Chains A and B, each alone.
Chain A
């Protein structure tokens, strides 16, 4: 896999990437409401699923941003809005200095040359009736790109770049394993030499031993070709490994964003604390006792999100102010530069074990008084 070679015609970017000053992708107040309609002939809107509700972030050229959160928090929808697979309800998406928020579909082709996507499920994201060659070539044909060496040769080069045998050009997706299919999806995304790839859970459908192969491949490609990534995943350890900057989403909003070192060692938002404390670690000795926070229930419905802070109903620190006022995503006192938190009553900046476990789950609260025996 380390045999990553040069994409022809692509200049390599130094390992440290270009300066972070220029933003390749700038997302402002991005919103997506899916209408809920009722009625048979005359449909009227009775509500909306507020999947994404005002999200701001930026991604520098060659950089990577991780989006983490529970299912239903809007991270995948955000990815699809950025690539314009979904039409935003409000807000703006600036890509490479151009506003692509409402670019008509016919002209989106141009922007998508530089803006590609890798999908979660390698089984449903490849057309079973097309050969691997066709799948990888199609983006080039659609965009009228004729590489000097010809489509076939170029597709084979791409297959080799992602660690597949170029002789598999004429095979069909069903002849490949999950990890190999994911590599085909990556080759397709690379075909147009994009500047930004939105990777929506690229490894979560794969076996443990295969995940690392794909993560390494993506890292190699990023270093070699200077591709920026929006990396969407629910696995906090994978996101930490891959992304320099991480945004935590909850119910359609970003609740905390910081560089990975800060976010994983000095989180301020209670939800980030809860997420981190829930990650199981293969450390049977428990050398470092970690904090234990058990939230009650699940993420509430985005149809009717709670007033004020959306995490309020599951938060152990919630007060009247949290219901009345929505906390802005700002740099709160004690945060280093670039660490933004949306919370009225932020936590101590540490993940050290707290004096007492926080167990809100009614089924577990019976054992809440005694400290966790096994951690």
Chain B
């Protein structure tokens, strides 16, 4: 079952610098109506072998962040600034030609909808083989063998036969497996999965998540998982980044963030969905309103128009001043951006526990 590693294993970065270091990333799209600030100052780090979950609603900038990591905004009108340091190299400044050499090889992506990400006109095997051939000097046959081997690794039965099938002949779960096979064919050091299981049934979702975890253990890749499902993040990720309106509002280890969430938006996300073991008599506690427009973000804290607790902060500070990301006491790297003081939060928690 073990695969031979690619001829050029990714170099191990020195222990001091993180494997992936994103600093103050901004992606702005100029439009007729104004500048859409899809990503506005996002920073995070990721080590090899670990997983970061990026959580947020549609329009929170999670997918745009992932496209920036792949350098897919190059050649478009998007304005990208900040730093994306992958093993010390800055991907934002990298010319497209060099980015191409990395894309699919060092950084690769699993897209949300495998039916539109796979080409309907080519067989699945040919598409996977192509991804391998672009980065390796191998014969067609070797590439095809490699494709079959990858299909086998991701659990597709009769891989040598199925490699000759077209995407429409695969079921949804199998297509997603084929996508995973394609993204892993060059043993990428960084794997980005954009809502990889959203279109799938729970049973297949569980298979795919287990598979990503297994393959990560085997290849030691770093994984960024973009999702809106906190259950999926709890299941698979080490760190969690909660985004709202293109900005970070909470960031920390999964354990810290999910057991002691510090931002009212994270509270809302956790309380608005029913849980399989929850109390059915208890009413769901939805987040009021809808996500903000990225052209004209609310002043101060972007979440304040929807926040239940803005009344607890004196002098209308939430609307006036944007809260800074501050470290949460008692944790090593859990940060959150909220004006509520620790005492107020304690009081809110106490009241709600009493309810």
Contacts and interface: CB of A to CB of B under 8 A. Distances in A.
A329 interface: no
A212 B272 contact: yes
Given A241-B274, A281-B231, A282-B258, A295 B57 contact: no
A176 to B, nearest CB: 10
B34 to A, nearest CB: 19
Interface residues of B, number: 56
Contacts of A295: 203, 207
B76 interface: no
B15 interface: no
B71 to A, nearest CB: 28
Nearest to B214: A367
B204 interface: yes
A159 B161 CA distance: 55
B255 A279 contact: no
A280 B57 contact: no
Contacts, number: 151
B290 A179 contact: yes
Nearest to B1: A366
A276 B205 CA distance: 12
A20 interface: no
Interface stretch (A54-62, A76-84, A230-238, A317-325): A230-238
Given A237-B276, A240-B280, A363-B155, A210 B290 contact: yes
B153 A278 contact: no
A215 interface: yes
Contact of B272 (A211, A240, A278, A362): A211
A279 B207 CA distance: 11
B203 A240 contact: no
Interface in A275-304: 275-285, 288, 294-298
A364 B210 contact: yes
Interface in A236-295: 236-238, 240-241, 260, 264, 274-285, 288, 294-295
A238 B278 CA distance: 11
Given A212-B286, A274-B203, A364 B211 contact: yes
B174 interface: yes
Nearest to A298: B171
A42 B321 CA distance: 74
B82 interface: no
Contacts of A211: 272-273, 286
Interface of B: 1, 57-58, 153-155, 157, 171-174, 177, 201-207, 209-211, 213-214, 228-236, 254-255, 258-259, 268-270, 272-278, 280, 283-288, 290-291
11 contacts: A207-B57, A207-B290, A208-B272, A260-B280, A277-B206, A279-B276, A281-B234, A282-B275, A361-B210, A363-B153, A374-B213
